[in-house]
Amino acid sequence: MRTRIAIIYNEPSPSHYDILHEGEAVAGVLQAVESVHQALLSLDCQVIQVPLDLPFGRAKGKLRSLDVDLVFNLFEGFSGYPETEASVPEFLAKIGIPFTGCPAAVLRLALDKAKVKVILKAAGIPTPAFQKLSPETLHTFRLGYPCIVKPRCEDASHGLSAESVVNDFVSLERQVRFICDAYQGGALVEQFISGREFNVTVLGNSEYTVLPASEIVYSLPPGMPELLTFAAKWEPGTLYYQGTNPVCPARLNSEEQQRIAETAVAVFKLLNCQGYARVDMRMSQDGEINVIELNPNADISPTSGSVRQAEAAGMTYYQFIEKIMGLALGKKQPWTSISVS
């Protein structure tokens, strides 16, 4: 019998991201939807697409009426409300429909970057020093420069630009005010680590597969901070897009590769991830691996970093999607790269 699957995603609609010229990230989910749909058809699944929008009561009605074996969860929150990303898997768990990726608690936690960093530090996992700041609490700033100012509760590089890296108090104040005015959740200020930047995808539930790490290699004009900005991800033709190049597999010696893999699995397990997630890291000048953030249910469109890593491990795109589907249904799959138990 063919597996019946519903692909759930957020219906792109106007939001404050359009005012900020960041609507591309919201619309980007559609590429993943179409690619996953084609992959599932190739795997002989019965597939329907189910776009969700507000009000949530209407979305719940759509979910409750599903007659499927699995939901492939590509929902990233209702447009303009990233905090609602956890709402769909939470409801699916309540009505007993299996779904791909991480549970609601992980998605809710990961959206609060400061809370994740507190948990990492308590577990002894290195992460850059940080503070939560608002215009009213700027006088408490205690970090050194340079530091980076980012939205505390956003993903997809929303709010990140060359101006995010600050080197003096005037720039810090300007950027904190901008972030607090433009985004919910306030500003997260981190010590900026200028070393090599990596990201690595982990797959699994109780046994874990670490895909080959990617390195973000920058070739930017002098004076431009080496940072994965919104433009670097979403705006072809910009200097950041052209000067931000992923290299996968990353050029690492065996000891560095092992430390990065172990760190990624430690974060995945500590934060109770399931299915798949990506861990972003920077290596300081003395070689210490610092975790920047966790991205549960990372982008899996064909040009994404996670897919690039899966291909480096020998998987086709269809095999990668089948692996994610199999993890959600509790099936073991044979493809592995660097496995860390």
Q: For residue range 172-223, what is the model confidence (pLDDT) as tens digits? A: 999 999 999 988 888 999 999 989 999 999 999 999 999 999 999 999 999 9
Among residues 61, 83, 54, 87, which one has the least CA distance to residue 73? 87
CA 253 and chain centroid, separation = 26
Regarding whether 316 and 209 lie in a shared domain, the answer is yes
**How much is the pTM?**
0.92
Regarding whether 253 and 176 lie in a shared domain, the answer is no
Residue 2 gets which letter from DSSP? P
Question: Hunting for tokens 């507190």 — which residue is that?
Answer: 118
Regarding whether 332 and 200 lie in a shared domain, the answer is yes
Cα(52)–Cα(76) distance, integer angstroms = 10
Classify residue 231: in a domain, yes or no: no
Largest CA distance in the chain: 64
Classify residue 63: in a domain, yes or no: yes
Q: Which residues contact 7 (CB under 8 A, 6 or more apart)?
A: 33, 36, 37, 40, 47, 48, 49, 50, 71, 72, 74
- For residue 151, list its beta bridge partners: 187
Cα(168)–Cα(131) distance, integer angstroms = 16
Regarding whether 287 and 318 lie in a shared domain, the answer is yes
Q: Mean pLDDT in each 10-residue stretch from start to end of the chain (341 residues)?
A: 93 62 64 95 97 92 96 90 91 96 96 96 97 96 96 83 96 96 90 95 96 96 91 89 95 96 98 97 94 96 95 97 96 49 37
Classify residue 222: in a domain, yes or no: no
* Number of structural domains found in the chain: 3
Regarding whether 200 and 335 lie in a shared domain, the answer is yes
CA 70 and chain centroid, separation = 22
- Domain containing 206 — which CATH number? 3.30.470.20
Classify residue 276: in a domain, yes or no: yes
Domain-ending residue, one of 83, 99, 115? 99
Cα(154)–Cα(187) distance, integer angstroms = 10
Domain that holds residue 167: 128-191
Classify residue 261: in a domain, yes or no: yes
Regarding whether 135 and 92 lie in a shared domain, the answer is no
Regarding whether 279 and 305 lie in a shared domain, the answer is yes
Classify residue 147: in a domain, yes or no: yes
Regarding whether 169 and 72 lie in a shared domain, the answer is no
pLDDT at res. 79: 77
Question: Hunting for tokens 């399931």 — which residue is that?
Answer: 274
Residue 43 gets which letter from DSSP? T
Quick one: tokens of 135? 């215009």
Classify residue 226: in a domain, yes or no: no
Cα(200)–Cα(276) distance, integer angstroms = 11
End-to-end CA distance of the chain: 34
Quick one: tokens of 64? 């409750």
Cα(299)–Cα(297) distance, integer angstroms = 7
The three-state secondary structure class of 99 is: strand
Neighbours of 53 (CB within 10 A): 14
Regarding whether 208 and 309 lie in a shared domain, the answer is yes
Q: Per residue in 38-49, pLDDT tens?
A: 999 999 999 999
Classify residue 134: in a domain, yes or no: yes
Neighbours of 14 (CB within 10 A): 11
